């Protein structure tokens, strides 16, 4: 095993992360996607507020720095996270990214869902995600597709990749965030 000093010396300049999530649509709950609420007759069930896009981004960030995943950090079995704002999860992942000495360069996301149409909301979602990540909106890619041939009309799926770039000395980054 290399020493901690050796590990720092060989810290990669960039790291990639990948996140996936899926949630089922459910009546009687607001639809949250990318930290904003969309007008729709159904929302997404499951863990917390069901924001499938923020969950996949969170897991991509955590994966990029080899941290425990969203389910480990915020177990659905813990009543504390029932109905929680998923922004809390994203902020924890960002904190871990910064502690590791990295910043977000860009992300790219694919949303797969039958309805509602994402086009009219895409700019608002991209701007909110960019704001949450502290990056320009032109560093947030967002594509929406319908689940053609998947037989998943009542499900929203998300795939996300994130690129991190090394920012300064990780020791200093750790001190700053304390
Ligand atoms: Mg989820």
Per-residue pLDDT tens digits for 113-159: 999 999 999 999 999 999 999 999 999 999 999 999 999 999 999 99
- 113 Cα–ligand 1 center, Å: 15
- Residue 34 contacts residue 50 (beta carbons within 8 Å): no
Residue 1 domain-assigned (yes or no): no
Range of 163's domain? Answer: 12-169
Confidence of residue 103 (pLDDT cuts 50, 70, 90): very high
CATH number where 104 lies: 3.30.1330.50
- 107 Cα–ligand 1 center, Å: 18
Residue 178 domain-assigned (yes or no): no
What pLDDT shows up at residue 83?
Answer: 82
- 24 Cα–ligand 1 center, Å: 10
Both tokens assigned to 127: 């701007």
What pLDDT shows up at residue 178?
Answer: 43
Confidence of residue 171 (pLDDT cuts 50, 70, 90): low
Closest CA to 45 of 21, 63, 69: 21
- 168 Cα–ligand 1 center, Å: 32
Cβ-based neighbours of 58, under 8 Å, separated by 6 or more? 19, 70, 86, 89, 90, 92, 93
Mean pLDDT of the chain, nearest integer: 91
Q: Is the pLDDT of residue 99 over 80?
A: yes
Alpha-carbon separation of residue 35 from 9, 24, 83, 137, 153 (angstroms):
37, 17, 13, 14, 22
Residue 6 domain-assigned (yes or no): no
Residue 45 domain-assigned (yes or no): yes
What pLDDT shows up at residue 3?
Answer: 62
- 48 Cα–ligand 1 center, Å: 8
What pLDDT shows up at residue 22?
Answer: 97
Confidence of residue 8 (pLDDT cuts 50, 70, 90): low
Both tokens assigned to 115: 């309805």
- 75 Cα–ligand 1 center, Å: 10
Q: Is the pLDDT of residue 173 over 50?
A: no
Residue 174 domain-assigned (yes or no): no
- 103 Cα–ligand 1 center, Å: 23
- 16 Cα–ligand 1 center, Å: 20
- How many separate domains does the chain show? 1
- 175 Cα–ligand 1 center, Å: 31
- 15 Cα–ligand 1 center, Å: 23
């Amino acid at each position: 095993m290399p020493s901690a000093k050796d590990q720092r010396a060989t810290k990669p300049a960039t790291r990639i992360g990948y996140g996936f999530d899926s949630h089922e649509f459910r009546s009687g709950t607001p639809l949250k996607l990318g930290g904003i609420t969309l007008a729709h007759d159904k929302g997404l069930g499951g863990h917390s507020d069901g924001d499938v896009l923020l969950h996949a981004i969170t897991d991509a960030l955590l994966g990029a720095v080899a941290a425990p995943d969203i389910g480990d950090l915020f177990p659905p079995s813990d009543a504390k996270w029932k109905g929680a704002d998923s922004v809390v999860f994203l902020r924890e992942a960002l904190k871990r990214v910064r502690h590791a000495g990295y910043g977000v360069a860009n992300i790219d996301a694919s949303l797969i869902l039958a309805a509602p149409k994402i086009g009219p909301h895409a700019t608002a979602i991209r701007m909110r995600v960019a704001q949450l990540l502290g990056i320009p909106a032109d560093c947030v890619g967002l594509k929406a597709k319908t689940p053609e041939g998947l037989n998943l009309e009542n499900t929203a799926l998300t795939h996300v990749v994130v690129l991190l770039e090394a920012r300064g000395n990780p020791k200093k980054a750790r001190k700053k965030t304390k």
